[in-house]
């Protein structure tokens, strides 16, 4: 077994026991990246050309390589959000989530690909070209955190960070056959995460075991005064325990989703997972989420685009990033910078957001969406009075081939129905591995009430025990 | 047909810089003296990934300003994003409370044309961030057409309170009194220095005219007034301009006009009004102010100038005009009260403060906080003059000496060679004896009876007065000399 194949907990244990050195581990990961990267194209910026600088030799992640989605600010290291508009911008500060990891000793291998400003679900809307799925390089890795998922799936690094605004961690985790966790909104500081939809964005980890997710969460989930939406309670306990049980726990399926069609392997995974839960002593129930089923997609896009277009107003070429020096005036400068700097998906969302908040129709769309969002949160709160967890797919279909995106954009949006209500209600969601359909992994999703993150991961540990852990993808080799 | 009359309907928006050490959404310094672009950080530069966090001192100053305008604190308020593109706006939107402010529903009193008190309602005060300041190389100081423009982000994120009045103002004079009164009150509350020269207070006015024939002109927003004089002139100009239009049967356009102080005119803004839209600021939770916080801030509120002036008139017997002059500046009023507390007679102390202290401050262009004569010292001086230990003239000499040399009361008296209470009794007799001894010929003349007209006696009296440095009473000197000559 090569060192790059080790899971996070095994890596830490091995380093601690001095079975191998940080530089041996580093070299192994680097070798793996060099081998697979031409096929996968996960990186936007590699930082593994020089010897690693470990932030803290005594930290729990001392010497552990990782990669970050390129919308997380890294001091002095190019951060692009996969957009031309940021140019070669090097932030003067670290995102809090990365600062915590760096202080724990993690070593940065690079910044990885994503859909521009996290807008997309294929990792194809990137100014740096698409990333490929390590299980089948003709297919998409999912998005927007496709690079983060692919890097862990292909064995580049034992864990990575992404962000999830409407499924951007859970969907690529599912497509790439790894575990991905979207924490409760407010659990992880967003300071230094380049905003898409501020009230929906949340940073979370990817790893190849649930136990590894727990370890990363124990470092990420700390109060940060720099983010006013960050929680102020005492840090939750993400300690891994083997003696957890689902006996007597209620796990519900969503009534309104039962009529929707799923790809056969996903439907089969639902059945298998349900059986595992029943065998573990869980009670399978049903909850009704009529408002979610009917309005969540429209509500989500109205809010996400309204927030996004104001978040993207700062990119004007005046202070940083791409700019022009020969514009005739400031208006022309803004126009040229933004016309060239933003990709088409970003532009269409800016236009949509501008229209949705335009004074004459703001009440009808943006304000209405904020009200619907409250109803959705209330509906989930009521549902979680009747059940402990909700089990549902991440997507209705397996990863499609690159370039075969659905022509009907509205349908692409609808495939997000399983993921984005979770963001609207600020809930934690775990995307977990259930097995393979041919060479493609199949993932599902377990959702809990707000702040149930550690319990949700405990449940994930049990599911992993029965369903098995994923193996490292062949990476196109 | 009777002649048409017009009633101006005016509302004013005033921005004040709230007095805090750090900016509204980050911990950068608000020092206005710092070199350009040194008080900046990822937050106030609007760097990608940065998030605002509310400075609670700003909220407190906003509450103090609101309470000074008789507003009530709102238990829950929100922040919004106000979008427009301009190089001085780092995020492309300004974070502002807009219509859900932290304080609302107050008033300020002004005098109407007949001299009667009239309430101008304050709709609200909301918190917001300032934009950066820009410097253009164009001759007219504007962005369009400038070859080069410089942006100083030190000002970006400075805390502002925007105070919006109801359209209760009927003249430029009322507008100015409203603004001055507001300035005095927020300064009293310690909410803002409201220094016009430093751009800490800026005015916009909404002016429309109501015609006696029932027509009501549209609202015109006049911007760019940075002094009380400019506010007054701009409103007067706008009233005249609109009146002329309405008289000629024309229609006043709803527009934003720019006050040109040099030319003394308003002109339609060349730049089209920015297209603005508001969404809730998702990075800031609603601002919740609980009763405990309101109580704490309310307890911090000092007595307001009008209440204080009334107290001086009613309890201390000060004339109204003196009371108003003294209460115009809180520190001056505090100085006066310290004088009184140290034992000075209030009316006399007020007189000294108003005439002498203010004279010296004006001469020096100083503020009372920089004044070197401590109120207790002034109180001592006032008391001595009151007790006739010093004449009024001597008192003023002593005061000037203390101001000029930073000396204490005793030292000043000594340095000026003043004998308190004047020269009399034995001291006077000794001087007389000495003068007589030094002038035996004069004595001889008087004694021989040649001094028929008393000229020589007068001469002696003069010498004695000179020796006492004028501190003896002439009557007493004459009597004592007569006695000595017996």
A168 in active site: yes
Check residue A465 and give its pLDDT: 97
Distances (CA, A) of B130 to A417, B202, B405: 41, 12, 44
Substitution target in B24, B27, B49, B89 with the highest count of A β-carbons within 10 Å is B49
Dump pLDDT digits (tens) for A37-46. Answer: 999 999 999 9
Does B280 sit within 8 Å of A370, measured CB to CB? yes
Q: What does the alpha-carbon distance between residue A259 and residue A165 come to, in Å, rounded to a whole number? A: 26
Check residue B408 and give its pLDDT: 84
A92 or A408, greater pLDDT: A92
Catalytic residue, from A168, A218, A431, A454: name it: A168
- pLDDT band for position B454 (cuts 50, 70, 90): confident
The distance from CA A7 to its chain's CA centroid, rounded to whole angstroms, is 19
Check residue B280 and give its pLDDT: 94
Catalytic residue, from A83, A126, A144, A145: name it: A144
Q: Which residues pair with B110 in a beta bridge?
A: B118
Is the pLDDT confidence value at B345 over 90? Answer: yes
Q: Which residues pair with B268 in a beta bridge?
A: B257
- pLDDT band for position B195 (cuts 50, 70, 90): very high
Nearest to A205 by CA among A466, A429, A444: A429
Find the Cα–Cα–Cα–Cα dihedral A78, A80, A81, A86, rounded to 10°: 140
Q: Which tokens in the block code for residue B21?
A: 């050490």
State the average pLDDT over residues A347-369.
Answer: 93
Q: Are A208 and A177 in contact (CB under 8 A)?
A: no
Check residue A231 and give its pLDDT: 86
Q: Which tokens in the block code for residue A337?
A: 């910078």
Separation in Å, CA of B57 to nearest CA in chain A? 16
Q: What does the alpha-carbon distance between residue A423 and residue A446 come to, in Å, rounded to a whole number? A: 14
**Whose structure tokens read 């003043």?**
B418
Check residue A377 and give its pLDDT: 98
Phi/psi at A465 (5° precision): -60, -40
Check residue A163 and give its pLDDT: 98
Check residue B405 and give its pLDDT: 86
**Lowest-confidence range among A83-97, A389-403, B310-324, B412-426?**
B412-426
Is the pLDDT confidence value at A235 over 60? Answer: yes
The highest-level CATH class for domain A3-249+427-467 is alpha beta
Separation in Å, CA of B87 to nearest CA in chain A? 6
Check residue B415 and give its pLDDT: 81
Nearest to A292 by CA among A373, A171, A205: A373
Distances (CA, A) of A46 to A68, A176, B300: 11, 21, 56
Is the pLDDT confidence value at B300 over 60? Answer: yes
A144 in active site: yes
Which helix (H) or strand (E) segment holds residue A444: the answer is: strand A440-447
Dump pLDDT digits (tens) for B105-159. Answer: 999 999 999 999 999 999 999 999 999 999 877 655 566 566 788 999 999 999 9
Dump pLDDT digits (tens) for A271-281. Answer: 999 999 999 99
Nearest to B231 by CA among B299, B295, B287, B183: B183
H-helix segments, B353-473: 358-364, 375-386, 392-405, 409-415, 425-438, 440-447, 455-467
Cis peptide upstream of residue A144 (ω within 30 degrees of 0): yes
Q: What does the alpha-carbon distance between residue A458 and residue A249 come to, in Å, rounded to a whole number? A: 12
Nearest to A456 by CA among A168, A181, A149, A269: A181
Smallest Cβ–Cβ distance between B53 and the set A193, A225, A362 belongs to: A225
Check residue A411 and give its pLDDT: 63
| A20 CB-contact burial (10 Å; exposed 0-12 / middle 13-18 / buried 19+) | middle
All residues at 6 or more sequence positions from A120 whose CB lies less than 8 Å from its CB, including other chains: A143, A144, A345
Q: Are A379 and A289 in contact (CB under 8 A)?
A: yes
Check residue B479 and give its pLDDT: 79
Percentage, residues of chain B above pLDDT 70 = 95
Q: Which tokens in the block code for residue A330?
A: 């400031």
Separation in Å, CA of B326 to nearest CA in chain A? 45
Q: What share of chain A is helix, strand, coil (3-state, %, to 5)?
A: 40, 15, 45
**Lowest-confidence range among A157-161, A433-437, B408-412?**
B408-412
Mean pLDDT of chain A: 94
Q: What does the alpha-carbon distance between residue A453 and residue A459 come to, in Å, rounded to a whole number? A: 10
Is the pLDDT confidence value at B26 over 70? Answer: yes
Q: What does the alpha-carbon distance between residue A46 and residue B104 come to, in Å, rounded to a whole number? A: 54
ipTM of the complex: 0.95
- pLDDT band for position A284 (cuts 50, 70, 90): very high
Is the pLDDT confidence value at B421 over 70? Answer: no
The CA R_g of chain A, rounded to the nearest whole Å, is 21
Check residue A83 and give its pLDDT: 98
- Which chain B residue has its CA at the smallest distance from A358's CA? B277
- In chain A, where the domains are located: 3-249+427-467
**What is residue B356's DSSP assignment?**
I
- pLDDT band for position A317 (cuts 50, 70, 90): very high
Q: What does the alpha-carbon distance between residue A265 and residue A437 come to, in Å, rounded to a whole number? A: 6
Does B51 sit within 8 Å of A194, measured CB to CB? no
- Ranges for all domains in chain B classified under CATH 1.10.10.410: 425-485
Phi/psi at A76 (5° precision): 75, 0
All residues at 6 or more sequence positions from A90 whose CB lies less than 8 Å from its CB, including other chains: A75, A76, A77, A78, A79
State the average pLDDT over residues A259-263.
Answer: 88
Percentage, residues of chain B above pLDDT 90 = 64
Check residue A412 and give its pLDDT: 63
Q: Are A62 and A32 in contact (CB under 8 A)?
A: no
Q: What does the alpha-carbon distance between residue A131 and residue A145 come to, in Å, rounded to a whole number? A: 10
- pLDDT band for position B392 (cuts 50, 70, 90): confident
Q: How many CB atoms lie within 10 A of CB B53?
A: 20
Substitution target in B28, B44, B51, B85 with the highest count of A β-carbons within 10 Å is B51
Does B90 sit within 8 Å of A313, measured CB to CB? no
Smallest Cβ–Cβ distance between A226 and the set B51, B81, B276 belongs to: B51
Nearest to B161 by CA among B106, B217, B230: B106
Q: What does the alpha-carbon distance between residue B132 and residue B46 come to, in Å, rounded to a whole number? A: 11
- Which chain A residue has its CA at the smallest distance from B54's CA? A228
- Which chain A residue has its CA at the smallest distance from B146's CA? A329
Catalytic residue, from A28, A30, A69, A249: name it: A69
- pLDDT band for position B63 (cuts 50, 70, 90): very high
Dump pLDDT digits (tens) for B255-279. Answer: 899 999 999 999 987 655 555 668 9
- pLDDT band for position B254 (cuts 50, 70, 90): confident
Separation in Å, CA of A359 to nearest CA in chain B? 6
Does B45 sit within 8 Å of A198, measured CB to CB? no
All residues at 6 or more sequence positions from B4 whose CB lies less than 8 Å from its CB, including other chains: B211, B212, B213, B246, B247
State the average pLDDT over residues A352-361.
Answer: 91
Substitution target in A89, A304, A318, A365 with the highest count of B β-carbons within 10 Å is A318
Does B284 sit within 8 Å of A225, measured CB to CB? no
Q: Rounded to two decimals, what is the model's pTM? A: 0.89
| Chain A residues lying within 8 Å of B278, measured CB to CB | 357, 362
**What is residue A259's DSSP assignment?**
T
All residues at 6 or more sequence positions from A317 whose CB lies less than 8 Å from its CB, including other chains: A323, A324, A333, A334, A336, A337, A338, A341
Mean pLDDT of chain B: 89
Dump pLDDT digits (tens) for B154-163. Answer: 999 999 999 9
Dump pLDDT digits (tens) for A382-396. Answer: 999 999 999 999 999
Q: What does the alpha-carbon distance between residue B409 and residue B398 come to, in Å, rounded to a whole number? A: 7
Phi/psi at A326 (5° precision): -115, 25
Phi/psi at B401 (5° precision): -65, -45
Does B283 sit within 8 Å of A357, measured CB to CB? no
Q: What does the alpha-carbon distance between residue B198 and residue A247 come to, in Å, rounded to a whole number? A: 69
All residues at 6 or more sequence positions from A301 whose CB lies less than 8 Å from its CB, including other chains: A352, A413
Query: Is the domain defined by B425-485 classed in CATH 1.10.10.410?
Result: yes
């Amino acid at each position: 077994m090569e060192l790059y194949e080790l899971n996070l907990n095994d890596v830490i244990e091995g380093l601690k026991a001095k079975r191998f050195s940080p530089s041996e581990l580093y070299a192994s990961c680097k070798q793996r990246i060099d081998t697979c990267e031409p096929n996968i194209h996960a990186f936007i910026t590699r930082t593994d050309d020089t010897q690693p600088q470990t932030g803290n030799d005594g930290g729990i992640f001392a010497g552990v390589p990782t990669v970050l989605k390129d919308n997380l600010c890294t001091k002095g290291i190019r951060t692009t959000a996969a957009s031309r508009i940021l140019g070669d911008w090097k932030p003067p500060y670290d995102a809090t989530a990365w600062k915590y990891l760096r202080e724990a000793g993690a070593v940065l291998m690079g910044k990885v690909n994503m859909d521009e400003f996290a807008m997309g679900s294929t990792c194809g809307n990137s100014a740096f070209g698409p990333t490929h799925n390590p299980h089948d390089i003709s297919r998409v890795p999912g998005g927007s955190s496709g690079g983060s998922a692919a890097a862990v799936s292909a064995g580049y690094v034992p864990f990575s960070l992404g962000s999830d605004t409407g499924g951007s961690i859970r969907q690529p985790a599912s497509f790439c056959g790894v575990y991905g966790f979207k924490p409760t909104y407010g659990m992880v500081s967003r300071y230094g995460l380049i905003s898409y939809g501020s009230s929906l964005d949340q940073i979370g980890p990817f790893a190849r075991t649930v136990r590894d997710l727990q370890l990363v969460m124990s470092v990420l989930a700390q109060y940060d005064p720099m983010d006013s939406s960050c929680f102020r309670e005492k840090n939750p306990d993400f300690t891994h325990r083997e003696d957890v049980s689902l006996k007597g726990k209620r796990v519900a399926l969503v009534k309104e989703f039962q009529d929707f069609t799923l790809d056969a392997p996903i439907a089969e995974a639902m059945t298998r997972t349900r059986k595992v839960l029943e065998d573990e002593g869980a009670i399978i129930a049903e909850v009704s989420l009529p408002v979610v089923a009917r309005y969540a997609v429209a509500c989500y896009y109205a809010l996400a685009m309204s927030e996004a277009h104001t978040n993207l107003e700062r990119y004007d070429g005046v202070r940083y990033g791409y700019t022009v020096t020969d514009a005739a005036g400031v208006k022309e400068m803004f126009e040229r910078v933004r016309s060239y700097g933003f990709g088409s998906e970003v532009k269409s969302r800016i236009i949509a957001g501008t229209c949705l908040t335009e004074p004459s129709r703001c009440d009808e769309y943006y304000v209405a969406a904020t009200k619907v969002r409250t109803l959705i949160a209330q509906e989930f709160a009521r549902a979680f009075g009747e059940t402990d967890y909700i089990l549902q797919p991440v997507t209705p279909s397996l990863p499609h081939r690159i370039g075969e995106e659905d022509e009907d954009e509205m349908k692409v949006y609808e495939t997000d129905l399983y993921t984005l209500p979770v963001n609207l209600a600020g809930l934690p969601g775990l995307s977990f591995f259930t097995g393979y359909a041919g060479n493609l992994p199949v993932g599902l999703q377990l959702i809990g009430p707000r702040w149930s993150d550690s319990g949700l991961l405990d449940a994930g540990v049990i599911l992993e025990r029965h369903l098995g852990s994923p193996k490292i993808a062949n990476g196109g080799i | 047909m009777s002649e048409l009359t017009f009633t101006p309907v005016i509302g004013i928006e005033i921005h004040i810089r709230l007095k805090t050490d750090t900016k509204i959404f980050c911990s950068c310094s608000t020092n206005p003296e710092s070199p350009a672009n040194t008080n900046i950080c990822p937050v106030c530069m609007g760097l990608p990934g940065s998030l605002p966090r509310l400075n609670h001192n700003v909220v407190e100053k906003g509450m103090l300003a609101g309470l000074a305008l008789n507003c009530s604190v709102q238990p829950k308020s929100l922040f919004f994003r106000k979008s427009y593109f301009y190089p001085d706006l780092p995020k492309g939107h300004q974070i502002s409370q807009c219509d859900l402010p932290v304080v609302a529903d107050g008033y300020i009193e002004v005098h109407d044309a007949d001299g009667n008190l009239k309430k101008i309602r304050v709709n609200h005060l909301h918190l917001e961030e300032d934009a950066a300041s820009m410097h253009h190389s164009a001759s007219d100081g504007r962005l369009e057409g400038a070859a080069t423009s410089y942006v100083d982000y030190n000002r970006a994120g400075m805390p502002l309170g925007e105070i919006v009045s109801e359209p209760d103002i009927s003249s430029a004079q009322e507008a100015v009194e409203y603004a001055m009164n507001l300035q005095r009150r927020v300064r009293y509350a310690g909410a803002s220095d409201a220094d016009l020269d430093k751009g800490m207070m800026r005015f916009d006015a909404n002016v429309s005219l109501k015609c006696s024939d029932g027509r009501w002109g549209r609202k015109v927003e006049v911007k760019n007034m940075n002094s009380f004089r400019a506010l007054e002139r701009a409103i007067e100009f706008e009233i005249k301009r609109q009146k002329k239009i309405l008289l000629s049967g024309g229609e006043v356009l709803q527009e934003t006009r720019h006050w040109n102080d040099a030319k003394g005119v308003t002109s339609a803004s060349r730049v089209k009004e920015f297209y603005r839209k508001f969404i809730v600021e998702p990075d800031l939770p609603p601002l919740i102010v609980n009763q405990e916080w309101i109580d704490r801030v309310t307890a911090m509120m000092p007595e307001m100038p009008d209440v204080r002036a009334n107290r001086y008139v009613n309890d201390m017997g000060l004339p109204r005009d003196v009371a108003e002059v003294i209460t115009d500046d809180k520190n001056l009023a505090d100085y006066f009260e310290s004088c009184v507390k140290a034992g000075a007679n209030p009316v006399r102390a007020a007189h000294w403060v108003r005439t002498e202290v203010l004279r010296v401050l004006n001469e020096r262009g100083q503020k009372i906080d920089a004044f070197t004569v401590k109120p207790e010292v002034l109180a001592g001086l006032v008391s001595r003059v009151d007790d006739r230990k010093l004449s009024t003239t001597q008192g003023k000499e002593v005061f000037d000496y203390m101001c000029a040399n930073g000396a204490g009361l005793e030292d000043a008296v000594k340095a000026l060679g003043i004998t308190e209470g004047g020269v009399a009794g034995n001291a006077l007799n000794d001087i007389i004896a000495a003068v007589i001894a030094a002038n035996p010929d004069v004595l001889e003349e008087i004694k021989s009876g040649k001094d028929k007209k008393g000229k020589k006696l007068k001469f002696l009296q003069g010498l004695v007065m000179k020796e006492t440095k004028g501190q003896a009473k002439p009557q007493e000197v004459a009597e004592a000399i007569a006695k000595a000559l017996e």
